[in-house]
Amino acid sequence: MTITFRNETFRDDFTFRNSLYNIRRFPFPFDRDEYMYSVNMEPHVRGKKDSVFENLIDVDEHYVAEMQDRAMVLKEDPLRCQALPHMMAAQWDTLELLMEHQAQDYPEHFTLEKNGDRWRWINRPMGIDDTFTFGDPATLPYPPMEYITRQAQGDFCIVDQRDNNLWMDAGMVTTQADWSLDFDIGMNFMEWHGPVPLAHQIGVFDRALKFLLNLQQGKPTRRLNWTTTVNPRLDTSPENYPKWGPDRMTVTPDNVGEKMHLRVELQSLWRLPRSNAILFVIRCYLISLNELVTVPKWGRRLPRVLKSLPPEIIDYKGLTRNRPIMIDWLAKYDDGAVTSPGI
């Protein structure tokens, strides 16, 4: 399908919007009226046409604008992209995986031609046509992970596997929900998850780590995570907290529908073939409450979920001030119907 890429911003005048088509395919993350952390993982297999699961690496109408925003973040702060020296094989693995998926599923926008180690990559939306030698970083304008993740939606961490643990040893992280690659680089699975409340105590991270250590090549897995963001801002990093933190104080009952966004991360995990590392893709989707309530079952469910949250999760997700405003505004969309589990 040919995608019409939107000309829009995720900062300053915030012109980001979702088309009707994109609203319909938004990955609403709640399959019941309450929410608690769990090991919510499932095989990352193709899903329904016109859903975000149709292709395993999803490209949508925000692609070009997101890549422009990433370039701006990197210009201001190059440390959003880092790779430790032993991760070079994993970088090439990542380049191959993203090029192959984008070219296979969006042939009108991307082409990959392989002639032995001599590869030609064409990215039409971004006007790129490069020929390079796979395995030779000198033939690319950036190191391989940076090169391809400047051309792929979502944040990316590459974790190395050793000593029965996973280590965050490389990443491109410019659209994160308040955590820092520069802070986490070199940490292991339990260390970088240190700030998360409740989940350690109920064994979520022990089970998740065990599962991931056994992840097999060709059998990627996925989960959804969510938070909220004031304004459609992609870069809500700790580094830039002074830019976006004060936005939380600007939400009122009159503007909450427009300003408050549900931020959903479709996270997929891929075992990489040469390096045995794991690629962790965090694909971020934003939707304003105004857009969200156009789907009645989502408008009904979201206030119920927000009411159900334990105080620790409210605090961790930065919802303390604005949750009551959201619940009050959303109340009119809850008709009281009894619902059964399922999206």
Sheet holding 118-123, edge to edge: 110-115, 118-123, 128-133
Among 99, 256, 264, 278, binds ligand HEM (CB under 6 A): 278
User: Does 63 sit near ligand HEM (CB under 6 A)?
Assistant: no
- The stretch near ligand HEM (CB under 6 A) out of 63-71, 95-103, 188-196, 331-339 is 188-196
User: Does 256 sit near ligand HEM (CB under 6 A)?
Assistant: no
Tell the residue number behind the tokens 């009159």, with chain if given.
254
User: Does 316 sit near ligand HEM (CB under 6 A)?
Assistant: yes
Distance CA 316, CA 309 (A): 11
Please, what is the angle between helix 296-308 and helix 323-330, to 10°? 140
Q: Report the nearest approach of ligand HEM to the CB of residue 278 (Å).
A: 6
Task: Label residues 82-118 b or e (16+ Cβ within 10 Å = b).
Answer: bbeeebbbbbbbbbbbbbebbbebbeebbbbeeeeee
- Ordered DSSP codes for 248-266: GGG--TTTHHHHEEEEEEE
Among 153, 227, 229, 275, binds ligand HEM (CB under 6 A): 227
Tell the residue number behind the tokens 């990197």, with chain if given.
74
Q: Please state whether 240 falls in left (phi above 0), alpha (psi between -120 and 50) or beta.
A: alpha
Distance CA 150, CA 143 (A): 11
Q: Report the nearest approach of ligand HEM to the CB of residue 206 (Å).
A: 10
Q: Report the nearest approach of ligand HEM to the CB of residue 233 (Å).
A: 16
Q: Report the residue number, 151 or 188, with the smaller CB distance to ligand HEM.
A: 188
Among 64, 89, 196, 327, binds ligand HEM (CB under 6 A): 196
User: Does 169 sit near ligand HEM (CB under 6 A)?
Assistant: no
| Bridge partner list, 264 | 226, 285
What tokens were used for 128?
């790129």
Residues 14-33, mask of contacts with ligand HEM (x by CB under 6 A): --------------------
- The stretch near ligand HEM (CB under 6 A) out of 55-63, 102-110, 189-197, 243-251 is 189-197
| Torsion over CA: 147, 152, 157, 159 (sign) | negative
Q: Please give the size of the binding site for ligand HEM, defined by CB under 6 A.
A: 25
- The stretch near ligand HEM (CB under 6 A) out of 43-51, 82-90, 220-228, 289-297 is 220-228
The one catalytic residue among 11, 17, 25, 223: 223
Mark whether 223 is an active-site residue: yes
- The stretch near ligand HEM (CB under 6 A) out of 26-34, 195-203, 229-237, 323-331 is 195-203
Q: What is the DSSP letter of 26?
A: -
Catalytic positions are 223
**Chain residues in the site for ligand HEM (CB under 6 A):** 37, 39, 41, 157, 159, 166, 168, 179, 184, 192-193, 195-196, 199, 204, 208, 212, 223, 225, 227, 269, 278, 280, 316-317
